[in-house]
Amino acid sequence: MQRRHIGPFRVGAIGLGCMSLSHAYGQPPAREAAASLLKLALDQGVDFFDTAALYGFGANESLLGEVLAPHRQDFVLASKCGMTGVDGKRVIDGRPETLKATCEAALKRLRTDVIDLYYLHRFDFKVPIEDSVGALADLVSEGKIRAIGLSEVSANTLHRAHAVHPIAAVQSEYSLWSREAEIAVLDACQALGTAFVAFSPLGRGFLCGELTDPASQLVATDIRLAMPRFSPDNYAQNISLLAEYQKIAQELGYTSAQLALAWVLARQPHILAIPGTCSPKHLIENLTAGQIELAPEVVARLDALINQNTVVGLRYNAATFAEIDTERF
């Protein structure tokens, strides 16, 4: 596994995004299965786990606390505040007092004294980013978190935040079919010494090649059904890209998922990836991709095949775009 820096830490370039164990993609796995997957990840050498207060409205943090607390010294723990469940609804709230209260609750659920990397999950447009980051800086001073991150923000917001306190990481969606980070944030991260953490590096399952008909394969509560590029008409066009993509993977002897992850890591050395999965088989498959180094000509072939000009449909609907700060093509 390649190893990369994130703030004061050095971890495997591929970590584990834990959201799907509790949240977002339909019915989550049973607790026993989720716990087993987390233990397998540890056994396979994963040393970077990513969760959030939002996931399962606290249930995901509690799961990680129950399963991973005895091994706390063996991994870097990341969680998020600023977007939580309140009375059964998702709420974005970046007020300093809310962020500090969320951290206190998270520490209890995670069964730890300190969170290694704590992200502002969403920029609350009603609260200056300087105020939200200032509250996180207080938590660093108090020893409750070790490093600060931001999620789904623009380069401008990153620079404003970094002026208040060094930002160790920016986490945003990034994959062959979600390239908005290339507009400005990837370069801003590089200039500031900030790691970039790619969530959904497998295109929310698209790049694995197993999702052929979202309308019939996904349950009604799966968040992908509200994303324009997963609509029947758009997806029918997007899936046509996979034949050539899978041909390239086969030529190289990799799975579709491994090729997608290797592409992300090949983009720049300050990028890490946190694919999520509920499958032990897919977990091991994903981690193996951390050993792959793609030749420049392969990266160029993939760039030309799947990009913002060849993918049909936006990554989010209008309501979600109104809540995030990232640049858009």
Contact 175/201 with Cβ under 8 angstroms? yes
Q: Three-state SS across 47-73?
A: CEEECCCCHHHHHHHHHHHHHHHHHHH
Please identify which residue in the block is written with the tokens 């951290």.
Answer: 103
Catalytic residue among 25, 55, 174, 316: 55
What local confidence, expressed as pLDDT, does residue 17 receive? Answer: 98
Is 245 an annotated catalytic residue?
Answer: no
3-202+267-292 falls under which CATH superfamily? NADP-dependent oxidoreductase domain (3.20.20.100)
DSSP designation for 30: P
Domain limits of the chain? 3-202+267-292
User: If phi over 0 gives left and psi between -120 and 50 gives alpha, with beta otherwise, what is residue 87?
Assistant: left
pLDDT tens for the chain, 329 residues long, are: 999 999 999 999 999 999 999 988 988 999 999 999 999 999 999 999 999 999 999 999 999 999 999 999 999 999 999 999 999 899 999 999 999 999 999 999 999 999 999 999 999 999 999 999 999 999 999 999 999 999 999 999 999 999 999 999 999 999 999 999 999 999 999 999 999 999 999 999 999 999 999 999 999 999 999 999 999 999 999 999 999 999 999 999 999 999 999 999 999 999 999 999 999 999 999 999 999 999 999 999 999 999 999 999 999 999 999 999 999 99
Instruction: Tell me the backbone φ, ψ of residue 112, rounded to 5 degrees.
Output: -145, 165
Contact 175/260 with Cβ under 8 angstroms? yes
What local confidence, expressed as pLDDT, does residue 84 receive? Answer: 96
Residue 118, strand partner residues? 79, 148
The b/e string for 302-328 (b: 16+ C-beta within 10 A; e otherwise) is beeebeeeebbbbbbeeeeeeebbbee
Contact 48/15 with Cβ under 8 angstroms? yes
Separation CA 4–CA 125 (nearest Å): 32
Task: Give the helix/strand (H/E) hosting 27.
Answer: none
In what order do the strands lie in the sheet containing 169-173?
A: 16-17, 48-50, 76-81, 115-120, 145-151, 169-173, 195-199, 271-273
